[in-house]
Every structure is written in C-alpha cells, then in structure tokens.
C-alpha cells in the first residue's frame, strides 16, 4: 500500500510538471506535417529571391529541382477541408498550409500565372490564413518561433500576387529559368540586359534567406547574339575558363546531392567547395546559399550540434567571402543561426 501511495505521488508530480511545461512537450513532438511545411516555406522564400535576381542561375536551378522533388508525390492531392462545427487537429491545419508549395509549383513549373489559377485553388489561401490563426491561438510564449509569422507573410504575399499586385511577369520567369538552365549546363550568361530585376515585395519577412536530386531539365539552346541578362557588377568582366566551369559543376552536383539527402554536413561541404571557386560568377552567393540551407536543415531537424558546426563554418568562410562584399549578409546569417541555437537549447527541443 505504501508503494502504491508513493507511485501515485510520483504520478501527481509528473502531471504537475507537464501541466506547467506543455510547450516543451509539444516542441519535442513536432509533427511531420509541420516539418514539411517548414521546408516548403524556406524553399518558397528562396525561389522568390532568385526570381527577383537570378544571379548566375545555379541557385535557382537547384531550388527549382527541389520544388519538383518535394511536390512530385503530392501535386493534385486535395487539401483537407474543415468539418462544420469540428475543430481541426494541428496536423490537418499544417496540411492546409501545403497550398504554398502547391501554388509555387503551379506557377514556376506548370507556368500558370497566379491571377489565372482556378478560384477554388486560390480559395485555399483563405483557409490557410484561418489555419495559421488557429495555430497561433494554440501556441504560447514558450513555443513561438519565426515559422508561423513567416508563413503568414508568404500566404499574404501569394494573395497579393493572385490579385495582380506585384507578381513577377511571365517574361521575368522565362528569363530566370533560361539563365538557370544554361548555368546548370555549365554556360553562365554574360552580356548587357534591358531586363529590370523585380524589386523586393514589401510583405517579405525580414531576413528571408536562403533545400534535390532530380534529372536536370534539358539545357536551353545556345543564344544567338548577346545575352539579354546582365550579371551583377564585376561579373561581366570575365568569363569562367572551361576548367573553372567543370569544377563548378562538381560543386553544384554536391549541392544538389545535399539537397536530396537534406544533409547538414554535405551542404557545408558544398559551401566549402564554392569558396574555392572565386573565378566563377556568383561563387560567394553560392557559399552563402549553401550555408543558409545547412542552417535550415539543422533547425528543421532540431540538431543543435549541427547548428554549432554551421556557426563555425560561417566564421571560417565569412572571411573568404568578405572580398565579394557579403560581410553584412554573413553577419546576419550568423546572428539568425545563433538565435535559433539559443532558442532550441533554452526550450530543450534539441534532438
């Protein structure tokens, strides 16, 4: 009897602890649906940035293939509909947010302008906003992070695009994908351009920064005459040698393999590879891109040790990329990674 009484006392203590710390338990049991939405959000943020400024095309080429890969098995699958009078589970609410990946897949790969998408497809954006409201209402100060507000900003941006406000043009997407295909085939585009880069959307989340191995799309045929694209200042003064192009393709293959495996270590090796290619246009941005994806993978997996390694890599590679004027970007990335690391450790959500 005394043992039974002691056992009941222990149960009461455990119940009290769990009642006082519900967020910690919730954060340690994040659903696969949430983890998938985190990846899709980061991918959408990258795609929007690349379409505004395609650079030498390699980053867009990699992320476009990631979009094809992550949506391949889910495109066309109906999203969950709410049952009148019934509360939706967290998993169902997160599933509703899959509209972000679906719409970007339709826009970038199926080439359907947001404004011409079927109304029933776009109506899911309203449901996604409602789902975000419910998820935010269920959160508390211990399990709030940047995911919900950043996802809300992306959903709202898609709503503006669908209403014809600030959507990138078909011509802009054609050009960006053409650059990506040629860069991915080892032929970066050099020359003057009349094409203006699309300005940043005012609804972008702050510091939206930069996760696939699919068969590469067939390369675009060689262009006749000068390219209609102008690389950032300094890049158009030279063309990479054939040896440099071959080496850069090795870095790009490593980057795509790291995306497919979602490996922090492999993505850091891709960043290191790009840091040794200072004659390739946009090499420093490729380093920054790979470091950011490595940090995102570690955060998705709640891998605090992985974040430690990313911080060390940023410190090491930041000095090499300083010559390309990316000191501020590297500092911003390091600050964000450090905040993620502190948040996860303070909430005891490291796996």
Decide: pTM greater than 0.75.
Answer: no
pLDDT digits (tens, 9 = 90+) for 26-79: 333 467 888 889 999 999 999 988 887 766 778 888 888 888 888 775 555 555
The answer to whether residue 211 scores a pLDDT higher than 50 is: no
- Is residue 147 within 8 Å of residue 38, measured between CB atoms? yes
Please state, as a whole number, how many other Cβ atoms lie within 10 Å of the Cβ of residue 69: 17
Residue that wins the pLDDT comparison between 279 and 284? 284
Nearest in space to 94 (alpha carbons), one of 24, 35, 155 = 35
Question: Mean pLDDT lowest for which of 46-50, 243-247, 323-327?
Answer: 243-247
Q: Give the N- to C-terminal CA distance of the chain in Å, as an integer.
A: 39
Nearest residue to 255 (alpha-carbon basis) of 63, 67, 36, 12: 63
CB atoms within 10 A of CB 203: 17
Considering the chain, what percentage of its residues have pLDDT values greater than 70? Answer: 68
Q: 291 CB contacts (<8 Å, ≥6 apart)?
A: 267, 268, 271, 310, 313, 314, 317, 330, 333
Cα 171–chain centre separation: 24
Compute the half-sphere exposure of residue 124: CA atoms within 13 Å on the CB side of its CA: 21
Query: CA angle at residue 290 from 261 to 176, to 5 degrees?
Result: 100
Q: How far is CA 245 from CA 27, 154, 214, 279, in A?
A: 44, 35, 21, 9
Residue 148 burial (10 A CB sphere; 0-12, 13-18, 19+): middle
Residues 312 and 314: their CA atoms lie apart, in Å, by 6
Q: In the structure, what pLDDT confidence band is assigned to residue 244 with cuts at 50, 70 and 90?
A: low
Predicted local distance difference test score (pLDDT) of residue 290: 95
Tokens for 268?
A: 């850091």
Residue 323 has pLDDT above 50, yes or no: yes
The pair of three-digit structure tokens given for residue 351, joined into one six-digit string:
């796996």
């Amino acid at each position: 009897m005394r043992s039974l009484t002691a056992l009941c006392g222990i149960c009461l203590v455990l119940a009290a602890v769990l009642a006082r710390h519900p967020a910690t338990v919730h954060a340690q049991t994040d659903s696969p649906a949430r983890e998938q939405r985190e990846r899709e959000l980061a991918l959408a943020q990258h795609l929007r940035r690349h379409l505004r400024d395609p650079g030498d095309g390699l980053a867009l080429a990699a992320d476009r293939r990631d979009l094809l890969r992550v949506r391949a098995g889910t495109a066309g699958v109906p999203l969950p509909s709410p049952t009148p009078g019934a509360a939706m589970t967290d998993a169902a609410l997160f599933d509703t947010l899959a509209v972000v990946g679906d719409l970007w897949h339709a826009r970038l790969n199926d080439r359907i302008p947001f404004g011409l998408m079927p109304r029933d497809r776009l109506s899911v954006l309203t449901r996604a906003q409602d789902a975000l409201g419910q998820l935010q209402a269920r959160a508390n100060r211990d399990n709030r992070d940047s995911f919900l507000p950043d996802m809300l900003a992306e959903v709202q941006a898609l709503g503006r695009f669908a209403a014809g406000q600030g959507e990138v043009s078909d011509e802009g997407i054609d050009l960006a994908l053409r650059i990506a295909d040629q860069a991915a085939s080892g032929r970066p585009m050099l020359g003057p351009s009349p094409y203006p880069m699309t300005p940043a959307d005012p609804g972008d989340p702050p510091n939206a920064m930069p996760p696939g191995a699919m068969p590469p799309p067939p390369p675009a045929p060689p262009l006749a005459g000068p390219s209609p694209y102008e690389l950032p200042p300094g890049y158009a003064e030279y063309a990479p040698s054939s040896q440099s192009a071959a080496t850069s393709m090795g870095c790009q293959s490593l980057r795509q393999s790291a995306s497919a495996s979602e490996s922090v270590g492999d993505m850091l090796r891709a960043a290191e590879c790009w840091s040794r290619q200072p004659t390739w246009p946009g090499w420093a941005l490729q380093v920054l891109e790979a470091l950011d994806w490595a940090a995102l993978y570690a955060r998705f997996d709640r891998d605090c040790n992985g974040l430690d390694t990313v911080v060390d890599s940023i410190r090491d590679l930041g000095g090499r990329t300083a010559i390309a004027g990316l000191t501020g970007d590297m500092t911003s990335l390091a600050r964000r990674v450090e905040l993620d690391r502190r948040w996860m450790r303070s909430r005891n959500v490291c796996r």
